[in-house]
Amino acid sequence: MKARAFSYFRAATIDQALDAHARAGDDARFIAGGQSLVPALSLRLQAPRLLIDITHIDELRGVRRDGGYLRIGALTRHCEMLSEPLIAEFAPLLHAAAPFVAHPAIRNRGTFGGSVALADPASEFPAMTLALDAEIEIAGPSGSCRVKADDFFLDLFETALQPGELITAVYVPLFKADQRFAFDELARRRGDYALVGCGMLATFTGERVDDIRISFFSVGNTPTRVKGAEATLIGSSLEAERIAAAQAALEGDLAPPDSDEVPPAMRLHLARVLLGRMLGRLGEGA
Amino acid sequence: MSGFDQTLLDDADETVRVQLTVNGRRVACEVAPRETLVDCLRNELELTGTHAGCEMGACGACLVQLDGRAVHSCLMFAVQADGATINTIEGLSETGVIADLQAEFHRRNALQCGFCTPGMLVNAHELLSQVAQPSREEIRDALSGNYCRCTGYEAIVDAIEAVAQARDQGGGTK
């Protein structure tokens, strides 16, 4: 349970961090909160030559409005999702998801950017970036760019991030008065990984759904948008039969992996139950 | 200008000097980069009240206060804490800020072997500093990352609830 020996470098700027990574011949890892990376190092699942600490880079901090977006700095800690007023007002889905992320002490260290970068398919925040139609800002040796969440999660722990690149911020479209959101998950024990989890964001005209984005986690190799279910709900007023149709559509949207503990049919059933509950709440104005 | 010294790459496991403020005292120690904070506290500073349990962030025995917030000292390397202010269970005990929690744990037999107790107290201290009157459900939720293998949870929840009520009525320490 001890990490292999490595060198440690504390970067003061993004450029310093990127430069250090390049000089280590890509045999380096960035560390911020480290709440997933440190166990991986301790178990020697990873054994880089160099650890680059990015926690003291001011450019990666802060939450602020930027045009039609909320710019959430990569180093924003999970606990700040609960305490930061701008998050509660303009990204309430993240505020709602935060209490479900691990335990309080983990939330005190873990960072939003780190969670998105790791892309654990069972994690809450990566899936919420999909529901929110967020954009992920990436800095790399060849410059900076923004990638839509829809294009970011590629496969199990695999993202659009290339070696040596760094998430600098996540841009979330500002929550609007005609929008509603819901978040929930089913877990055996509070703080455990969810058996199934889901977040959704819908835009309404009166009681009619004009647009809805629904993202599941813990049901596949990546966070997963359920476009079939979304399509059945557009134009509806979340009537019972339309909700039932959305639940039925999950069969085509989700392909839960086989596991001894939770058979795919059970996970799909739980996803339907969860979706039904959440759409019911959304219809009531949640 | 990069600030990065290439020779660093050849010096893995070379110790580096880390300065911390631990329990109100400024200390310096020499640690290898891979040495976790819990190992530094226990081995270098001989503060053995912080316990190393699972060493992967699941059991909560290693909780300390880092810059005022409860964190797992097994989930960070001591070098990351350079310049930080840390309070361990020893410091929290000496200053008396958790004296009422400790007394109530004792009174209600909320500790059996005591291995998990330092982490439980650090966590309870954090909870009560943020929520003055947590419900039992909130207390359980806050403790969800702390394992007690003696299964003393009920008494632990009782003790924290009792302290919250006593503090609300003006008793106990702040």
d(CA A52, CA A49): 10
Q: Which residues of chain B from 16 to 55 reach within 8 Å of chain A, CB to CB?
A: 16, 32-34, 36, 55
Query: Hey, of A109, A120, A188, A193, which one would you mutate to test binding to chain B, going by the most B CBs within 10 A of its CB?
Result: A109
CA atoms within 13 A on the CB side of B68: 2
Q: Using the beta-carbon criterion (under 8 Å), do B6 and A109 form an inter-chain contact?
A: no
Testing the interface with B: which of A2, A45, A103 to mutate, by most B Cβ within 10 A? A103
B68 burial type by CB count under 10 A (0-12 exposed, 13-18 middle, 19+ buried) = exposed
Q: Rounded to the nearest 5°, which phi and psi values hold at A274?
A: -65, -45
Residues of A in contact with B53 (CB under 8 A): none
C-alpha B26/C-alpha B40 separation (Å) is 14
CA-based torsion, A11, A12, A13, A15: positive or negative = negative
This model of the complex carries an ipTM of 0.94
Of the candidates B79, B111, B75, the residue with the CA atom closest to the CA atom of residue B14? B79
How far B21 CA lies from chain A's nearest CA (Å)? Answer: 18
Task: Determine the pLDDT at residue B172.
Answer: 52
Task: Output the CA–CA distances (angstroms, integers) from residue A210 to A80, A149, A175, A204, in the order listed.
Answer: 31, 21, 15, 5
Residues of A in contact with B82 (CB under 8 A): 10
Indicate if the pLDDT at residue B4 is higher than 90.
no
Question: Which tokens is A217 given?
Answer: 């986690």
- Average pLDDT rounded to a whole number, residues B74-92: 98
Burial of A59 (0-12, 13-18, 19+ CB in 10 A): middle
Give B173 to chain A, closest Cα distance, Å: 23
The structure's pTM equals 0.95
Using CA coordinates, name the residue in chain A closest to B82.
A10
Q: Minimal Cα distance from B83: which residue of A?
A: A56
* B89-141 pLDDT, tens digit each: 999 999 999 999 999 999 999 999 999 999 999 999 999 999 999 999 999 99
Question: What is the rounded distance in angstroms from the CA atom of residue A85 to the CA atom of residue A81?
Answer: 9
pLDDT digits (tens, 9 = 90+) for A138-197: 999 999 999 999 999 999 999 999 999 999 999 999 999 999 999 999 998 877 889 999
Residue A286 pLDDT grade (very low, low, confident, very high; cuts 50, 70, 90):
low
Binary contact (B36, A5; C-beta < 8 A): no
Give CA–CA dist A126/A193, Å, rounded: 14
Specify the DSSP element, H or E, that contains B17. Answer: strand B16-22
> How many angstroms separate the Cα of A230 from the Cα of each of A124, A179, A194, A211?
19, 15, 22, 8
Nearest in space to B68 (alpha carbons), one of B90, B92, B51, B49: B92
- How far apart CA A134 and CA A82 sit, in angstroms, is 19
Q: Quote the pLDDT of residue B174.
A: 47
